[in-house]
Amino acid sequence: MKKIIAFNWKMNPQSLGEAKKLFNSYLLLYSSSKKEIIVCPPFIYLYELKDLKTKNLKLGSQDVFWENSGAFTGEISPKMLKNLGAEYVIIGHSERRQNLNETDEMINKKILAALKTGLKIILCVGENLKTRKQGKKAVENFIKSQLQKDLKNLPLNSLLSKTTSRKGLSYILNSRLIIAYEPIWAIGTGNSDSPKDAIEIIKLIKKTLNSIFYILNPRVLYGGSVDSKNIKNFLQCMQCNEIDGFLIGSASLQPKEIKNIIKL
């Protein structure tokens, strides 16, 4: 399976002209890439970028609301996102969890609504520095608890009725649900996790998804200060095949970085 690289533009850039110019850096290089590339710009640029993109380049949004319509001022529904051209949606990014008090309960509602609409999900999980300092067991417990709360009540039955076996269910979930392990202390700090430690948590995430949600080969990305230099450490280490790709923030705004990452 191809590795996934999802680029999170966060709240950048400030104009549609700049967004189109930045997107062009991806379009120029995309055809030579051996990776599955997903670009997640701010909501307002999705529609215009959809018309520029080639078939294989995927678009994602950075958030979604859990209701389909109604009195929810300022929110964007899953269906609106689909109509705008988004195929993926990032849910539970730590910047939203921390700055906007987004809870696991809210994240769970978003996941269920997005899944129902047919959007594919990139769910972010990861511990803060305090938890990391408490040791491996604390990190494991934290991540497990996030997964259990965020993925509560997955509509296994309705998904299962569309297929014939657990294997089919696993396939559906596997292709619609990607997890990004993003230790909070590594995001936007320039201090990425070590491949060895990241892989340990990624393996734990896979084991948890497997045992609780019947997902056989879940795809788990690493995110947190990945750039064109340190990404090589994550691609060339022991057990690196456990990492199914990357979620990249700051470097996604720099044409030179984009070029060097996409061509890897």
Set 93, 102, 127, 257: catalytic member: 93
195, two tokens: 């491949």
Output 188-195 pairs: Cβ under 8 A, ≥24 positions apart: 188/225, 188/249, 188/250, 189/224, 189/225, 190/225, 191/224, 191/225, 192/224, 192/225, 192/226, 192/230, 193/222, 193/224, 195/233, 195/234, 195/237, 195/240, 195/243
Q: Which is nearer to ligand PEP, 19 or 226 (CB)?
A: 226
167, two tokens: 């294997």
- How many angstroms separate the first and last alpha carbons of the chain? 16
CB of 7 to ligand PEP, least distance (A): 9
Single residue of 208, 225, 228, 230 touching ligand PEP by CB under 6 A: 225
Contact of 78 with 68, CB cutoff 8 Å: yes
Active site residue 242: no
Active site residue 93: yes
Task: Tell whether residue 223 is a contact of ligand PEP (CB under 6 A).
Answer: yes
CB of 125 to ligand PEP, least distance (A): 12
Task: Tell whether residue 226 is a contact of ligand PEP (CB under 6 A).
Answer: yes
CB of 193 to ligand PEP, least distance (A): 11
Q: Which is nearer to ligand PEP, 45 or 170 (CB)?
A: 45
Subset of 242-261 contacting ligand PEP (CB under 6 A): 247-250
Residue 212 to residue 173: CA distance in whole angstroms: 12
Question: Strands 245-248 and 36-40: what pairing?
Answer: unpaired
- Contact letters for ligand PEP, residues 165-204 (x by CB under 6 A): -----------------x----xx----------------
Single residue of 5, 7, 8, 243 touching ligand PEP by CB under 6 A: 8
Task: Tell whether residue 41 is a contact of ligand PEP (CB under 6 A).
Answer: no
237, two tokens: 């280490």
Contact of 69 with 113, CB cutoff 8 Å: no
Set 95, 102, 127, 182: catalytic member: 182
Site of interaction with ligand PEP (CB under 6 A): 8, 10, 182, 187-188, 223-226, 247-250
As annotated, the active-site residues are: 93, 182
